[in-house]
Amino acid sequence: MRRQDTSATFTSAGPNAQLMSIGVCYFPEHWPSERWERDVEQMAEAGIEYVRMAEFSWAVLEPERGEFDFEWLDEAVELIDDHGMKAVLCTPTASPPRWLVDERPDILQRDRDGTVKHAGSRRHYCFNSPAYREETERVVREMADHYADDPRVVGWQTDNEYGCHGTADCYCEDCADAFRDWLDERYADADELNEAWGTTFWSQQYDAIEDVDVPKPTPAQDHPSYALDFRRFTSDSIIEYNRLQTDLLEEYNDDWFVTHNFMNLFPSIDIYEMGEDLDLVSWDSYPTGHVQEAGESSHDELRAGNPDLLSFNHDVYRSILGKPFWVMEQQPGDVNWPPHSAQPAEGAMRLWAHHATAHGADAVVYFRWRRCLEAQEQYHAGLRKQDGSADRGYHDAQTAAGELLEIEKGGSGDDSLESTDAPVAILNDYENIWAIAGQEHAPDFDYWALLQSFYRPLRARGVSVDIVHPESDLEEYEAVVAPALHLLTADLADHLTEYAESGGQLLFGPRTGVKDEYNKFRPAPQPGPLAELVGATVDQHESAPEHLETTVAPVDGDGADDDLPYRTWAEWLNPTEAEPILEYTSEGVTAGKTAAVRNTVGDGTVVYCGVQPEADLGDELIGALLERAEIPHAATLPDGVRATVRDGVTWLCNFTSNEVTVEGEGGQTDEESIDWRLGGPELEPFDLAVAAGDVIDGLSVSVHRGD
C-alpha cells in the first residue's frame, strides 16, 4: 500500500536553509559573461535564494563528443555562492545536441504513423532508446562527478517537463521491442494475454507476444485493454528513464535533493509511482496559460488564473510525498505559449507566490530571469526585460520574498512552516484516466473536471484537501471523496470498506467500479465489488449534450425550486440497502429514477452520486459531507476568493478585480478578533492578507463590486 509521510518538514539545502523561498531560472549561456555578475547582484537584491540552471545546455557543456566545458557553469555557480544564494542544476537531457542526433539518429522519436520527430526544437528523443540511455548515463555521470563535492550545488532537476509537446508516446522499433518485453513480464504467454484483454472480439487474438506491436493507424479505435497496457508501459518507460538519472545522482552525492518539474494536470505519467524516486516534487505553474487550456476564461481568470485550478495542482504535487513541494517554474509576466498572451493583473506574480506557499510550497522559482533575445521563447517574459531593466514580475518577486521571510519567522516556533494538514482526501489514479480515454462516450467528458467538481466546493469553504492514490492510508482523513474509480479491484474495495466501517465518511462519484484491472466489464452490475458497500447497483447510464436540461432534486424536496443541475454523465441507481437521496427531475425517461443514495456502513456513511454535479449540486453534496464528518469550515466564499491554512497561518487570496472584506466568526474584522500578520480585512483587487492562527471556522467574505 502506498503511504505518504505527512509529518516531515523538508529542508532542501541543509539544516540552516530558509524555507518559503523565492528562486529564479537563469540561462547564463544566453548572455555575455560580463553581464553575469550584475545579474546575480540583482537576484540577491530581490531576495532570491535559489538559482536553477543548465536544463538545455548540453551543446554548451559538450560542444563535441567527449570535450566537456564546465568553466562557464563553474563561474556562474561561484557568482551565485558569492552573493549568498544556492545553485540547483538540471541534467541537460531534454535537448540532445545536433552532433549527437547526427551520430545516433536512432535516438529520435517516431509518431504513430512512423513520422520521425526531428531535431530543431526540444524533447526529440525516445525514452526507450538504448543509445539515448547510454548517452544520458554518460552526460549525467560527467556532471554529477564534476559537482559531487561542491556544497554550492544543493540539488538537481532531472531533464525538463517529461512528455511536454506530446512526447510521452513514441512508436519506434525500440519502443516496440520494449513493449513486448514489458508484456512478457506481465503475462506468461499469448494465451494469458488474450484472456486478460478479451481479444476474441473482432478476431484480435495473438499467437505469440512477439506479434504485439505498438499502436499504428487503424480504421477504428484501439482495443481498450491493449490501449490501457500501452499507457501503463509508456508511464513505466518514463519512470524507468528518470530512475536512471536519480540513481546516478544519488550515487555521487546522496545529500543532494533530486526533483523533476511536472506540468499542469499532466495525464501521461503515474506521478505517484515516479514520486517514489524523488526527494522533492515540483511543478511548473503558469496561471494565465493553464486557465485557457481548461476552456473559456473570464476577464479575471485571464489576468490571474483560476485559484481552484492552481491549488488543485499544488495539492496533487504536495500529496505525492505528503510534504512541501516546489514550484520550479512560476509565471513571471506574459507568456508565449497559450492562445492569448494576457498581461497579468497588478500584483498577480506576488499573489501566486503566496497562494503556492499557503498550499505547501517551500520555494517558488520564477521562470525566467530575463526575457531572451532569440529563438522560440522570445515572447516569454522574465523578471527582467530584454535590456536588463526590471520588469513587472521583478518587483512582485522582491516583495513576496520579503513578506514570506517575515511570515516564516512568526510560524510554529522553529522558523519554518510545516506542510498542510488536510482533513479530506480526493482519490486520484492515473490508470483511470488511461482507461476512460477513448471511451469517454461524451465529447465534453473530462476526468479532471469531474474531480474538480467535488474539489471546488471544498476549497470554497476553506477546507484543505490532499489528492492521493486510492491505495494510500486513509485512516487520517475524516472524509474521502472518490469521484471516478473506473477500474476497481477486490482489494481496493476491501480497503474502502474498512475505511467506512471504521467511521469514515465516503463520497463516490459516477463511473466508479465500472471495470476490472484489465479494462473489462465484470459479469456483475456496476459498481462491482463496491455494490454491498454502496447498497445499490447501477441499472443504466447515459451521457447528455449541454443543450439538454439535466436536473436532479432531493427525494424529500418540496418542488421545482429544489432542482439542481448536473452535466455530461448520469447513472440510474437501483437501491438494495441504501436510502435514495436524489432523483432525476428532467422530463422523459429519466424522470423519477434514483440519482444518488446514502448507506450506513459500520460507524461510517457512504454516499454514491451517479451524476457529475454542477456547482450548486456539488455544493450541496460537499456541505452534507462536511456536516457528517464535523469538519470546521468557512461560509461558502465568493468565486475567486480563497482561504487556506498552513501550520497555524491563514492566507486569504483575492483572485478577482473586486474589493472584498474578510469577516471572522460572528462578523468581526477588527485587530482584536483576527491577528493580521500581513494586510488586513480589506483586500484590494488581486491582493492578499495573512492572519495568525486558523481563522477558517465561520469565516466569510463580502464583495464590493465596482460600477
173 annotated active-site? no
The full DSSP string for 230-263 is HHHHHHHHHHHHHHHHHHHHHHH-TTSEEE-EE-
Which residue has 498581461 as its cell numbers?
Answer: 343
329 annotated active-site? yes
> Which of 55, 301, 329, 408 is labelled catalytic?
329
- Cα separation of 548 and 587, whole Å? 10
**Alpha carbon of 588 to those of 543, 549, 551, 581: distances in Å?**
14, 11, 12, 20
∠ CA(685), CA(289), CA(351), 5° rounding?
30
Do 471 and 432 touch, CB atoms closer than 8 A?
A: no
Alpha-carbon torsion 280, 644, 22, 362, what sign? negative
- Cα separation of 417 and 610, whole Å? 40
Residues facing 594 on adjacent strands: 573, 583
- Cα separation of 538 and 576, whole Å? 11
Do 664 and 375 touch, CB atoms closer than 8 A?
A: no
Residues facing 153 on adjacent strands: 87
Relative to beta strand 536-544, strand 505-508 is unpaired
Do 502 and 601 touch, CB atoms closer than 8 A?
A: no
Relative to beta strand 682-683, strand 659-663 is antiparallel
- List the grid coordinates of 526: 456496476
Fill in the DSSP letter of residue 581: E
Alpha-carbon torsion 168, 319, 315, 55, what sign? negative
Contacts of 563 (CB under 8 A, 6+ apart): 551, 552, 553, 585
**Alpha carbon of 418 to those of 10, 50, 359: distances in Å?**
8, 20, 10
The full DSSP string for 522-553 is -SS-TTGGGHHHHTEEEEEEEEE-TTS--EEE
> Which of 49, 55, 135, 161 is labelled catalytic?
161
Residues facing 468 on adjacent strands: 427
Q: What are the catalytic residues?
A: 161, 329
